[in-house]
Structure 1
Amino acid sequence: MATGYCTLEDVRRALRKAQLPGDVSQDKQIAVDAIAAETEPLEKSLKRHWYAPTGSDILSEATDIDIPTEPKSRDDEEDIPTGGAHLVGEPATPKTWQDDYTRIELARRDAESTTELLVRDSDGGYTDWVASNDYDGGPWPGALGQDYVLRVNNGGWTHLYLDTTNFLKEDADEDDEYYLDSFSNAVYVTFDYGHEGIPRNVRRAVALRAGAELVEEAVISIPENATLYNVETKADEMRTKANELLEVYL
């Protein structure tokens, strides 16, 4: 089945409240497709994923659509951020936050764990800092002071901190000489991400957007221009309300 952040009942409620027609009862698959079509773009635009834990009410109500029940996994190629402009012929140096840590912002919010962390070595190869016994790390704040730290702020934005002292040459002097010739594509990170629980705001927003889509398809069969205008106006109002509900996640 298709996957979505709301149920058909959520869409029915949204349409009933707006006193609008739709295809929820006539053809469930049309409504399911509308929900799925609104769910994926929402996740990508907000860079977030929500999932329902076992026993959630939404799961018992979702008989015609799959509700996510677990985190997602993602792997990305990342650059190590460097300071501003540097002279030609002189290598860049890592940009640091909080003492010796350099910070990488991950492409998805609400990261739960790092399952693989490939970091370039001095010989040009890569070492998995997660699997290696030579490196330690984990979530904030327990891992603070270790080789890597995964931190999620109050807005869900996730940063991966790497201790830049691991990039120093063994014979580095006081000027901190780094063995990396380039910090581009120096890190490959695989992580699990997601927020446990699908907020009511998200459910309503997806239902409103899906309902508006159904309404616009239904108006084709309405002959009176006045009624058609009224329905299209309400569909626009539903999308506006959905946007308002999602503002808190921007």
Structure 2
Amino acid sequence: MIRINATRYFFWLLSCWACITPLSGFANIDDFQDRYFAEVDGSTWALHIDSSHTFQHRVTAKLQMGNTRERYLLIGNIRGDRITGSYQKPIGISHSSEELRFELRRLDKNQVELSLSNALGENFSKITMSADNHKNPIDTAILGTWYSVAEPGASASNPYLGEEWAIRFGANGELCESLYLVDTRTQKNHQDPCSQPASQRWKAVDGKIYTAAGEDWQLHFNYRLMGGRLVVSYPSGKRRVANLAE
């Protein structure tokens, strides 16, 4: 007969329970939707829970407060119907050392309540957000017409000619884009990219611009805003930098 030391057996059970109890207290990330939206002071807030960067109870999410200049990275732990943790602007953008806290509470299948506060527990905002996996927020910061700076050397026959790129993002979802040659010695006479009848639909998703003329959406380019400039990179590797029209 094998004799088991009762004390050692008790502590063995206790250690096993300690291993499994935290995991059992955490909800499955699948209980939350991928995207939630809310209208706040006339602008659209979007929350994207990044399941590809979620491991066990650790959750990563992105919050966009109306435009591309107000993006935050949220990192927290999920327990039951709540995700709690800290949030900050992406590295390289934020220079603040203040600790910002958040809590995301699941109200039902399609709604969550987002609370934002500082380390002292002082609330900045508390909003209810609704799920919509088919909706993609429009980055209002890129609305308008953008022109690149033409550099000479676009033509072998005329060294003063430069290539200028123009693009317009319409609030109605219409995109116009054109490419033309200008004389870099003279004052710029920008052309209207929408002067041609051809246009496409556009949408912004996580730093990418997708366009469609029919039903199928295609990646057009990646983009980011840097110092008030629009920096785009195409799948081919080509890069453009443009300024917003005054």
Q: Give the alignment's TM-score, normalised by structure 2.
A: 0.26
Higher helix fraction (1 or 2): 1
Q: Give the alignment's TM-score, normalised by structure 1.
A: 0.26
